[in-house]
Structure 1
């Protein structure tokens, strides 16, 4: 799809809503497009429902509707298909699926948010395509619709004119990619900064902060060590140094990490330092030597080896991803 000049014809976005729709699936993309209008975009957003009636979301909030799906006359530049927590019943709603098919037939780009992928799949629109959905439901999408190739870790996937995204907040990632597609990376970057979100989040759905995904430990001694590493990744966190601070032998500390954390002290320290380095690379232009020093890697070469080992890319390539939403990396079946 070719971008349009900001002074040209408005870009029409049609958002399908229905009873029980997840609110953020709807409002997240709308906010991205509305913000883009503050930076030279000309998006016109409308909401439609299968019968034209207003709806109540899963959060209990009422949403007004502009028209019925069957009354859509003009081709949409983007159709947004949100999801809902009651997706198992939604995929049996023939009227809703008919609306999905009708809107897709009159759209240049169809994009699902979270479990909205189930509506696309039930409507037959994902057959033979790659797609994603919320990580919790990816296995069910693959089992129910074997003709769909499910990427359980992607934040969003593009295959032909259809895009699918993961959990609810990834609808923002997908919408930023669409803004970049229409209006360029500079506008998308301005929108991301305005909304205080990543231009492109690192990793996939499996990415969480090290401390968030670390198993909970009831060992007070071990918690103090974990906190010390997280608070200052650049400090001396060799096994010997941590053991001295904890007042236990290196063997005992190693056993605590193994039993409570299912990892080693060195691996945990590297994970924290990786996360700190990623944050620096995402948010600034510090020299690699500075990034390496401030995150505890010591040298640019050690930093490069850690990134290559953990992410399969160099720190420079990682930083470059944050100059763009890099939508091309989401895949394109054509």
Structure 2
């Protein structure tokens, strides 16, 4: 895996995925990733937080297995919109090596670099929610999806900001080395084992292992990605091609909790995120999180958190955030 560095980079976009991949390689007995930090010129690169990262070599000619492009303020200043004649050396290099690269990955505002290189034309992609509107304005040819934690379209992967790069890295590990290795890495790093790509950037994670059986794992992903959908056991069982009774039994055995309990936990976490962001009534939050009514949500909150939704919102709504990368 090749990771290009540049001035104004967000260091967590590099260090977070790097640690996920390093530990995955160890867990897999050395069968994993060789991460190479490169730059337009070898040497130290100043991040936007003041932390120096070091490019061990210049930009390689290719071929490359996986190119992981980080974000940061420097990414948004690279390759301004317009003709190719305005490209920076980094954007030009990304565009040149892309045809020789098996998998293209952006973290946070690294999507601006892939877009500037013309690689996201007609593709769905995400970035940090704070910068999604700007990405869409500067690159209207990109199908910008501001809500998901990460998005995959064929060989192109993109993630939201800050820690979402680690979620994306875990998804890469699961695809490359299997769910058992990804689960071991998440436990080692004390990370949520399962944050499906379609889950909202605003939602808090539910701690649960990915089921080893693909059909049950698919049901978990459906629940996280679509908490407001009809998630009754008969509906979920039909969507993953299992009988209702067998699905309920296997889900409980492999996940450790019945489907209905799991769905309620995910919906509570989704509602927490919506309440924290403010701007919606409790009734609207209940609808968006899949509870159907404010009273149903109130009972779930009291059962799970010991506090009513309106009290939760008064305590946590409008908490100051950090600047997006």
- Residue matched to 1:105: 99
Indicate the SS of the match to 2:157.
strand
Superposed displacement of residue 177, structure 1: 0.9
- Output the TM-score relative to the length of structure 1: 0.60
- Residue matched to 2:9: 21
Which of 246, 251, 263 pairs up with 2:282? 263
| Structure 1 Cα separation of the partners of residues 171 and 49 of structure 2 | 27
- Residue matched to 2:131: 137
CA gap of 1:99–1:272, structure 2 versus 1, over 3 A, is farther
Superposed displacement of residue 138, structure 1: 1.2
| Structure 2 Cα separation of the partners of residues 111 and 27 of structure 1 | 15
| Structure 1 Cα separation of the partners of residues 152 and 273 of structure 2 | 29
| Structure 2 Cα separation of the partners of residues 59 and 48 of structure 1 | 19
- Residue matched to 1:233: none
CA contact (8 A) 2:274 2:280 kept: no
| Structure 1 Cα separation of the partners of residues 301 and 25 of structure 2 | 34
Superposed displacement of residue 74, structure 1: 4.8
| Structure 1 Cα separation of the partners of residues 183 and 133 of structure 2 | 33
Matches of residues 237-276 of structure 1 in structure 2 within 5 Å? 262-263=281-282, 270-271=296-297
CA gap of 1:274–1:106, structure 2 versus 1, over 3 A, is farther
Superposed displacement of residue 76, structure 1: 2.4
1:66 and 2:56 are equivalent in the alignment: yes
- Residue matched to 2:63: 75
Superposed displacement of residue 201, structure 1: 1.6
Higher relative contact order (CA 8 A, sep 6+): 1
Q: Tell me, which stretches of 5 or more residues in structure 2 are unaligned?
A: 81-86, 205-268, 287-292, 306-325
- Output the TM-score relative to the length of structure 2: 0.62
Superposed displacement of residue 91, structure 1: 3.0
| Structure 1 Cα separation of the partners of residues 277 and 70 of structure 2 | 34
| Structure 2 Cα separation of the partners of residues 175 and 129 of structure 1 | 20
CA contact (8 A) 1:18 1:50 kept: yes
- How many pairs were matched up? 224
CA contact (8 A) 2:203 2:273 kept: no
Which of 39, 45, 60 pairs up with 1:49? 39
CA contact (8 A) 2:64 2:100 kept: yes
| Structure 1 Cα separation of the partners of residues 162 and 201 of structure 2 | 11
Indicate the SS of the match to 1:119.
helix
- Residue matched to 2:110: 116
| Structure 2 Cα separation of the partners of residues 151 and 274 of structure 1 | 30
CA gap of 1:197–1:271, structure 2 versus 1, over 3 A, is farther
| Structure 2 Cα separation of the partners of residues 63 and 20 of structure 1 | 11
Which deviations, in whole Å up to 9, do the C-alpha atoms of 1:295-317 show, x marking residues without a partner?
49xxxxxxxxxxxxxxxxxxxxx
Which deviations, in whole Å up to 9, do the C-alpha atoms of 1:222-252 show, x marking residues without a partner?
xxxxxxxxxxxxxxxxxxxxxxxxxxxxxxx
Q: Tell me, which stretches of 5 or more residues in structure 1 are unaligned?
A: 1-12, 218-259, 277-293, 297-334
- Residue matched to 2:275: 214
Superposed displacement of residue 107, structure 1: 1.6
| Structure 2 Cα separation of the partners of residues 14 and 270 of structure 1 | 49
Superposed displacement of residue 198, structure 1: 1.6
Indicate the SS of the match to 2:77.
helix
- Residue matched to 1:180: 174
Indicate the SS of the match to 2:34.
strand
- Residue matched to 1:201: 195
Superposed displacement of residue 49, structure 1: 0.8
Indicate the SS of the match to 1:38.
helix
Superposed displacement of residue 262, structure 1: 3.1
